[in-house]
Amino acid sequence: MKIKYYPETDSLYIELLAKPSVESHELSEGVIIDYDAEKQVVGIDIDNASHKVELKELILSKLPTEKHLIAA
């Protein structure tokens, strides 16, 4: 999973699967869900993210992984 913030557009993209998106649906105003060819959710795009998401804090808890990469 990758999370990327784009300050120039104030958008946040959460990539859940590293697969190409072939279809998108707006879940609510400015929140778009991307799907792959098999209808799996591959990403979530949030417009005006600074008004919808707490961007100053990210808490990772009990992830089943041995590796954590955090970069600013």
Does residue 49 sit in helix, strand or coil? helix
Q: Convert the pLDDT of each residue in 29-69 to its tens digit.
A: 999 999 999 999 999 999 999 999 988 887 777 777 766 66
Q: Where are the domains of the chain?
A: 2-52
Q: pTM, whole model, 2 decimals? A: 0.83
End-to-end CA distance of the chain: 16
Q: What is the dihedral of CA 23, 43, 51, 10, to 10 degrees?
A: -80
| Structure confidence at residue 55 (pLDDT) | 87
